[in-house]
Amino acid sequence: MRVLLVDDEVEFVATLAERLSFRNIEVDYATKGADALVLAKKKVYDLAILDMKMPGISGIELKGLLEKQSPTMKFIFLTGHGSEDDYKAGTSEACCYLIKPINIDILLAKIKQATEE
């Protein structure tokens, strides 16, 4: 299982990546959409976990760009917001939508569900 994790909060993304790696998930992370696209050119990822609101390329824009590179990639969105607009965008565009702070067991279940679909 190879996961790409993208969030502009470096302490969040680095720590979550470390925790996922303890659970035998191979994780690379980026804090910018542009860096995520570079990573996805070098490796094939089963799933991307994307923050919805990031400076520059948003999570939804990034999903579209990653899908062009890797059509089979699955997506989970993360957000600190709980707005109705985010909810609609998140649930229509990705396998699931989780609001921070997240529960790692729920995230693991969602990763399993998304990659088995």
Partner 1 sequence: MPTPYDSIGQSGLQFFGKVSASISHELKNVLAIINENAGLLEDLTFAAQRGSAIDPERLNRTAQNFLKQIHRADEILKNMSRFAHSVDQFNLQVNLHELAGLVANLAGRPAAMRKVILEMAVPQEPATLTTNPFLLENLIWLCLDFAIAATSAGGTLSLTPERTDSGICLHIAGIDKLAEAFPGQMPEGYDDISAALGASLVPDFSKNALTLRLA
Residue 55 binding partner 1, by CB under 8 A: yes
Nearer to partner 1, 2 or 80 (CB): 80
Q: Can you tell me which of 25, 39, 95, 102 binds partner 1, judged by CB under 8 A? A: 102
Measured CA to CA in angstroms, residue 80 lies from 71, 84, 106, 109 at distances of: 27, 13, 16, 20
In angstroms, give the least distance from the CB of 40 to partner 1: 21
Residue 83 binding partner 1, by CB under 8 A: yes
Closest CA to 90 of 41, 51, 56, 54: 51
Q: Can you tell me which of 68, 81, 88, 112 binds partner 1, judged by CB under 8 A? A: 81
In angstroms, give the least distance from the CB of 16 to partner 1: 5
Distance CA 69, CA 64 (A): 9
The residues, any chain, with a CB within 8 Å of residue 99's CB and separated by 6 or more, are 78, 79, 80, 81, 82
Q: Return residues touching partner 1 (CB under 8 A).
A: 9, 11-12, 15-16, 18-19, 22, 53-56, 80-81, 83, 99-102, 104
